[in-house]
Amino acid sequence: MQALNLVIISGLSGSGKTHAIKCFEDLGFFCVDNLPPALLPKFAELCLERGAEVKNVALGIDIRERGFFADFVGNLDRLKSLGHPVNLLFLEARDEVLVRRFSESRRPHPLLPHAPVLEGVRVERERLEELKRRADRIIDTSDLTVHELKDLLARQYLQPDQAHRMTISLLTFGFKFGVPYDADLLFDVRFLRNPNFVAELKPLTGVDPRVQAYVLSDHDAVTFLGHLETMLTFLIPRFEKERRSYLTIGIGCTGGRHRSVALGTRLKESFAGSAREVILRHRDIDKPS
């Protein structure tokens, strides 16, 4: 029987449950927040019907109300009896940190909205004590940044063969048609020799080997590519360490048909064998020069 890798996230209000759900989503988990405990078995059944599409699942569950606890425990035990690996993650933080977070957000405590925040924190901590005892893993987020929390969750919940690989999008474009707003890194290659001024090359694009040969016969083009590849070799692992999902690299020339396309095509080839997904898009290649 197929089994789900299921992480259930709960804990104190203000401890970072919403951020944790977003982190799991970035790690490739299928995530649902505020699922009623009674729906746990049915939800698992629906996920199994999707087959390999849904393998890793993270659920945020709110169990502040006393009536929910017995319901949750019963359904959790039922899931485990069906052979699903279930990990209960409990998030907490120190009282003074929770009070500060509520103060910064200007929100009342959800349990006691008309009382001081500290009173609500203490009541909730008492109500969740039994849930905390049942937790497989407890994380105190008091001194963690969002990035540190994501890195911690990745190390604890991703398998060794699930090392994060960022999707790299290479985008060629023409400056005359505007700079792409979604580029994380942008390079201007208008300093290179322009095939647009060579009669037999002008009607072609940078996809054509003749245009590529012309562009890359320029010593500056080869030197630029070498420096760019060295810089990306340095940058990409560091972006991946920050758990970024994608990186868009813009390469622009005047019209987006010749130089940028030729260099983008060659740069994509340099990523061959890197085990990273690399997408090459030519935004303006079909526009009139």
The 3-state secondary structure of 217-237 reads CCHHHHHHHHHHHHHHHHHHH
CATH number at residue 87: 3.40.50.300
| Domain limits for position 68 | 5-162
Residue that terminates a domain, selected from 162, 182, 197: 162
154 and 171 part of one domain: no
138 and 173 part of one domain: no
Rounded Cα distance, 171 and 72, in Å: 48
Band (67; pLDDT cuts 50, 70, 90): low
13 and 155 part of one domain: yes
20 and 73 part of one domain: yes
pLDDT digits (tens, 9 = 90+) for 218-265: 999 999 999 999 999 999 988 887 767 788 999 999 999 999 999 999
Q: How many CB atoms lie within 10 A of CB 103?
A: 10
DSSP letter at 122 equals H
Going across the sheet that includes 185-188, the strands are 185-188, 246-253, 167-174, 278-282
Residue that terminates a domain, selected from 110, 140, 162: 162
221 and 251 part of one domain: yes
CA neighbor of 283 nearest in space, from 171, 168, 190: 171
CA neighbor of 247 nearest in space, from 269, 272, 278: 278
215 and 152 part of one domain: no
Residue that terminates a domain, selected from 135, 162, 189: 162
Please answer whether residues 257 and 285 qualify as being in contact, where contact means their C-beta atoms are separated by less than 8 angstroms.
Answer: yes
Band (141; pLDDT cuts 50, 70, 90): very high
197 and 233 part of one domain: yes
Rounded Cα distance, 176 and 288, in Å: 11
198 and 99 part of one domain: no
CA neighbor of 255 nearest in space, from 217, 185, 202: 202
Mean pLDDT of 68-74: 75
CA-CA-CA-CA dihedral for 278, 147, 251, 179, to nearest 10: 130
Task: Confirm whether 288 is domain-assigned.
Answer: no
Q: Who's near 141: CB < 8 A, 6+ residues apart?
A: 15, 16, 91, 92, 93, 97, 149
pLDDT digits (tens, 9 = 90+) for 6-25: 899 999 999 999 999 988 88
Rounded Cα distance, 143 and 95, in Å: 12
Rounded Cα distance, 17 and 93, in Å: 11
Please answer whether residues 275 and 164 qualify as being in contact, where contact means their C-beta atoms are separated by less than 8 angstroms.
Answer: no
CA neighbor of 247 nearest in space, from 225, 224, 231: 231
DSSP letter at 165 equals -
199 and 234 part of one domain: yes
154 and 259 part of one domain: no
Task: Confirm whether 289 is domain-assigned.
Answer: no
Band (177; pLDDT cuts 50, 70, 90): very high
Mean pLDDT of 160-179: 81
Which residues, listed in sequence order, are joined to residue 137 by a DSSP beta bridge? 89
19 and 64 part of one domain: yes
Task: Confirm whether 287 is domain-assigned.
Answer: no
175 and 53 part of one domain: no
**Hey, what are 64's tokens?**
């502040």
* Domains of the chain: total: 2
Please answer whether residues 276 and 165 qualify as being in contact, where contact means their C-beta atoms are separated by less than 8 angstroms.
Answer: yes
Task: Confirm whether 97 is domain-assigned.
Answer: yes
**pTM of this prediction?**
0.60
